[in-house]
A and B are shown apart, each in its own frame.
Chain A
Amino acid sequence: MSTMEHILPVEAQNGLFWHRYLLDSLLAFVGAMLVTAIIYFFRLYPRIPNISIVYLLVVLALASTRGRYASILASLVAFLSFDFFLVPPLYVFTINRAEEWIALFVFLVTAILTSQLAVELRERAEQARRREHETHTLYDLLRLTNREGEPERQLHTVAQAIVDVFSSWGVQDCAILLPDKTGNLRVQASAYQPVEQVVLSSDEQTTAAWVMAHGRTMGLYDEASLHVSSAAYSGPQVPAQRGAMRRSLRLIPLKLGSKVVGVLRLRVLDQPRSLPYEEGQPEEHEHADARTAFFWTFLDEVTTLVERARLQKENLRIAVLQRIDAMRMALLSSVSHDLRTPLTSIKAAASSLLQSDVQWDEETRRAFAQTIVQEADRLNRLVSNLLGMSRIEEGALKPEKELYSLKTLIYDVLARMESLLKGRTVRTYLPDGLLLVELDYVQMDQVLTNLIENAVRYTPPESPIEVSARRKGGEVILSVADCGPGVPAADLERIFDKFYRVQTQNGQRQARTPTGTGLGLAVCKGIVEAHGGRIWAELHDGGGLAIFVALPIGEGERMEQ
């Protein structure tokens, strides 16, 4: 925020009105009288008949610096004082000679006309300068907002810009209220306070809702809950107590066409000629028109930006929803398939056992029962992986690391998976010693179980599996390698993606359609990374797939003799 560039503010209103008029009158009077005095003392008049031209200098100077009022006043003062002090008969406002009458009258007309022209010229120049300034301000607003990527930051920038630009008009703070999903107005951005700290009183909330619904500006006194009735604000005039310095809240609708997209909450230090109230009342203070117009133009721009930020947010939300939806579809299809497979086996085995017309021999009965137990275990593993995945996604997976012997873990898992590994050769390559590593036993158990289950599932029934572990630097590298068909080299990284399954291709794999959820390796990756470790896959020379897990040893290094 401190790094934020600030937008050029609009100029302060030029002091108070009467102040300005007084100064103008003084200058006009003094200027004209000074010339009269010079002509009088040097007795220039009758000698130089058209000396009155000198007054034009003063008039022009005033016209181009102070404006219409000063120049016309100076013209009149010059006219009268010339007549009074210089044209005989002196010290009276009468003129005897016709040519002097004409000269004086022509002088007056010339003075007024030239001053008009000069004033107009000056006003045009000023207008052009202001336009440029305003364009620049609007451009700055756009530029600053565009620089912010996130919608929240954009809104914040807009709020700050409003305060920066209109602070000279009494705007002290600005908040942007936008409707949330339920239609309640919520503070979405604030110029100087964190959004959470801006608390709306219930009065403000109802007023804001009214503003939102009716598209009309409303004011509230800041310090008290004194609620100014809405009727007072339907007209263009500023509320009672003109001139009093009073803080009030202004709730201004942000309109896009006829639609109100949000409400701007301005904390304003009320001044007689501060912020305009309502747009589109052309008869109101004409001279302030240009400024007012700028205010509304600025607000229009703000509205567009706010709407753009909202749409951007909406787009983001939709993108997230779409991603979640795709994920859910993938999960559903893979889970329903993978739940059904073991369920089918269980049901087939159990219903076979139930059949009364067949007499199964003891061996077959055992085989059926074995199938039921094995498939139930498989379902259980599937559920564990689903749970693991959801914990990983929620970020709720916190390994409770303790120092364990990795060898114990490996042998434990192998012993537990004995029935799945039946008929397989499992070779272990483990170093001497305990191989102490800091790990969460239950989670790493799941990793190893998934790796071994994958190796069993995707390789021919008789092919061997190798489990090895070794220390390397501050890590222990664990690997599970199979001698199956492997995966295409291009898939080596993607196999750790959720729901990713190597597509069935020709050859050996066709007979065995993949039955995994595509969750196993994704869960492994989540757990290993939560342990501060790495997981990767390699194809080894025999063509099989090897998955490597590197875990930081932690304190194990110190403990192991």
Chain B
Amino acid sequence: MSKQGASILVVDDEKEIVRALQRRLAASGYRVLTAASGQEALEEVHRHHPDVLLLDLVLPDMSGLEVCRRIRAESNLPIIVLSVKDAEYDKIEALDLGADDYVPKPFGMDEVLARIRVALRHAAQVASGTAPHFHAGPLSIDFALRRVTVDGREVSLTPTEYDLLKVFVAHRGKLLTRQMLLNEVWGESSHARTHSLHVYVAQLRQKIEPDPEYPRFILTIPGVGYRFSDESES
């Protein structure tokens, strides 16, 4: 269930896009605030403390990256970046700067709504900490015993695969860039190992996905990174 009445700030200088989002989000019961420039967005954030920010990276007065940086400097407000698919570097930079998620333009409304739900839930989870157990469909993990089972059968993971899975589960629903994953699993100064990241992900999929061809847990976000599906969202 989506958190009814949550307020969402939509920042985009394209009126039509703002209008479409506003209408759809309002229909889902959200309160919608809008801003057409970076400065306006910062003011709205200060004045109304929205629960989620939908941020276009191309704004008339300042770059969306700058907005992202300034907001992150003072709050944990979930930020979902809206970006044209081909501006790859910007969206990765935004994510590395602390944006929580990204939706490529042109987007489908269902996608935007799904990302908003995840962001809201995530914000609520932050305080609760990590549970010792995780269950999602056939997959269950006991973090205390480092035991991973699929359909009740135990799966043997290498230490790296286990660490990777743990990072994914801890940030489930959140989009993780390659750099974030590398830092979390291998520590800083590991940028040279991007190669092996994709290989480990592919191997992990073979072991935990019921149908590795059409993964339901670890999803590829082309050009950006991976997302561990938050199954309860649907």
Residues of A within 8 A of B (CB): 373, 376, 380, 384, 387, 402-405, 407-408, 411-412, 415, 434, 436, 438, 441-442, 445, 555, 559
Q: Which residue of B lies closest to A379 (CB)?
A: B106
Inter-chain pairs besides A402-B194, A441-B220, A441-B223, 14 sampled, C-beta below 8 Å: A380-B85, A384-B85, A384-B86, A387-B86, A402-B197, A402-B198, A403-B196, A403-B199, A404-B202, A408-B202, A411-B213, A434-B203, A436-B202, A438-B195
Question: Please, which residues of chain B bring their CB within 8 A of the CB of A405?
Answer: 198-199, 202
Mostly, the A contact residues are helix
The answer to whether B40 has its CB under 8 Å from any CB of chain A is: no
- Tell me whether B202 and A441 are in contact (CB under 8 A): no
Question: Please, which residues of chain A bring their CB within 8 A of the CB of B215?
Answer: 408
Q: Which residue of A lies closest to B224 (CB)?
A: A442
The answer to whether B108 has its CB under 8 Å from any CB of chain A is: yes
Question: Please, which residues of chain B bring their CB within 8 A of the CB of A387?
Answer: 86
Looking at the assembled complex, report how far the CB atom of B170 sits from the nearest CB atom of chain A, in whole angstroms. Answer: 23
Q: Which residue of B lies closest to A435 (CB)?
A: B202
- A407 in contact with B198 given A373-B108, A412-B222, A442-B222 (CB within 8 Å): no
- Tell me whether A380 and B195 are in contact (CB under 8 A): no
Q: Which residue of A lies closest to B218 (CB)?
A: A408
Which of A373, A411, A442 touches B214 (beta carbons < 8 Å)?
Answer: A411
- Tell me whether A380 and B203 are in contact (CB under 8 A): no
Residues of B188-212 whose CB lies within 8 A of A: 194-199, 202-203, 205-206
Question: Please, which residues of chain A bring their CB within 8 A of the CB of B96?
Answer: none
Looking at the assembled complex, report how far the CB atom of A331 sits from the nearest CB atom of chain B, in whole angstroms. Answer: 18
Looking at the assembled complex, report how far the CB atom of A333 sits from the nearest CB atom of chain B, in whole angstroms. Answer: 24
- Tell me whether A404 and B86 are in contact (CB under 8 A): no
The answer to whether B88 has its CB under 8 Å from any CB of chain A is: yes
Residues of B within 8 A of A (CB): 85-86, 88, 106, 108, 194-199, 202-203, 205-206, 213-215, 220, 222-223
Question: Please, which residues of chain A bring their CB within 8 A of the CB of B202?
Answer: 404-405, 408, 434, 436
- Tell me whether A436 and B213 are in contact (CB under 8 A): no
List 20 A-B residue pairs with CB atoms under 8 Å apart, sorted by A's residue number. Answer: A376-B106, A380-B106, A387-B86, A402-B194, A402-B198, A403-B196, A403-B198, A404-B198, A405-B202, A412-B220, A415-B214, A434-B199, A434-B202, A434-B203, A436-B199, A436-B202, A441-B220, A441-B222, A445-B222, A555-B195
Looking at the assembled complex, report how far the CB atom of B85 sits from the nearest CB atom of chain A, in whole angstroms. Answer: 7
Question: Please, which residues of chain A bring their CB within 8 A of the CB of B220?
Answer: 408, 412, 441
Question: Please, which residues of chain A bring their CB within 8 A of the CB of B106?
Answer: 376, 380
- Tell me whether A403 and B195 are in contact (CB under 8 A): yes
Looking at the assembled complex, report how far the CB atom of A266 sits from the nearest CB atom of chain B, in whole angstroms. Answer: 52
Question: Please, which residues of chain A bring their CB within 8 A of the CB of B206?
Answer: 434
- Tell me whether B195 and A402 are in contact (CB under 8 A): yes
Looking at the assembled complex, report how far the CB atom of B202 sits from the nearest CB atom of chain A, in whole angstroms. Answer: 4
Question: Please, which residues of chain A bring their CB within 8 A of the CB of B194?
Answer: 402
Q: In the docked arrangement, what's the CA distance between A407 and B215, Å?
A: 12
Question: Please, which residues of chain A bring their CB within 8 A of the CB of B198?
Answer: 402-405
- A407 in contact with B223 given A376-B106, A384-B86, A387-B86 (CB within 8 Å): no
Q: In the docked arrangement, what's the CA distance between A76 and B2, Å?
A: 128
Q: In the docked arrangement, what's the CA distance between A403 and B200, Å?
A: 10
Q: Which residue of B lies closest to A559 (CB)?
A: B199
Looking at the assembled complex, report how far the CB atom of B220 sits from the nearest CB atom of chain A, in whole angstroms. Answer: 6
Looking at the assembled complex, report how far the CB atom of A531 sits from the nearest CB atom of chain B, in whole angstroms. Answer: 15
Q: Which residue of A lies closest to B198 (CB)?
A: A404
Q: Which residue of A lies closest to B108 (CB)?
A: A373
Q: In the docked arrangement, what's the CA distance between A191 and B199, Å?
A: 58
Q: Which residue of B lies closest to A556 (CB)?
A: B199
- A408 in contact with B205 given A384-B85, A403-B199 (CB within 8 Å): yes
Q: In the docked arrangement, what's the CA distance between A550 and B194, Å?
A: 23
Looking at the assembled complex, report how far the CB atom of A203 sits from the nearest CB atom of chain B, in whole angstroms. Answer: 46
Looking at the assembled complex, report how far the CB atom of A389 sits from the nearest CB atom of chain B, in whole angstroms. Answer: 12
Looking at the assembled complex, report how far the CB atom of B44 sits from the nearest CB atom of chain A, in whole angstroms. Answer: 30
Question: Please, which residues of chain B bring their CB within 8 A of the CB of A434?
Answer: 199, 202-203, 206
Question: Please, which residues of chain A bring their CB within 8 A of the CB of B86?
Answer: 384, 387
Among all A-B residue pairs, the 7 with the closest Cβ atoms: A442-B223, A405-B202, A403-B195, A411-B213, A434-B202, A404-B198, A442-B222
Q: In the docked arrangement, what's the CA distance between A22 and B97, Å?
A: 91
Looking at B85, B88, B108, B220, the one whose CB has the most chain A CB atoms below 10 A away is B220
Q: In the docked arrangement, what's the CA distance between A441 and B88, Å?
A: 12
Question: Please, which residues of chain B bring their CB within 8 A of the CB of A404?
Answer: 198, 202
Q: In the docked arrangement, what's the CA distance between A132 and B138, Å?
A: 99
Q: In the docked arrangement, what's the CA distance between A403 and B199, Å?
A: 7
Looking at the assembled complex, report how far the CB atom of B73 sits from the nearest CB atom of chain A, in whole angstroms. Answer: 30
Looking at the assembled complex, report how far the CB atom of B200 sits from the nearest CB atom of chain A, in whole angstroms. Answer: 10
Q: Which residue of B lies closest to A404 (CB)?
A: B198
Q: Which residue of A lies closest to B205 (CB)?
A: A408
Q: Which residue of A lies closest to B211 (CB)?
A: A411
Looking at the assembled complex, report how far the CB atom of B165 sits from the nearest CB atom of chain A, in whole angstroms. Answer: 17
Q: Which residue of B lies closest to A412 (CB)?
A: B220
Q: In the docked arrangement, what's the CA distance between A546 and B162, Å?
A: 41
Q: In the docked arrangement, what's the CA distance between A376 and B213, Å?
A: 27
Q: Which residue of A lies closest to B219 (CB)?
A: A412
Question: Please, which residues of chain B bring their CB within 8 A of the CB of A415?
Answer: 214
Q: In the docked arrangement, what's the CA distance between A556 and B206, Å?
A: 17
Question: Please, which residues of chain B bring their CB within 8 A of the CB of A373?
Answer: 108
Q: In the docked arrangement, what's the CA distance between A438 and B195, Å?
A: 8
Q: In the docked arrangement, what's the CA distance between A441 and B225, Å?
A: 10
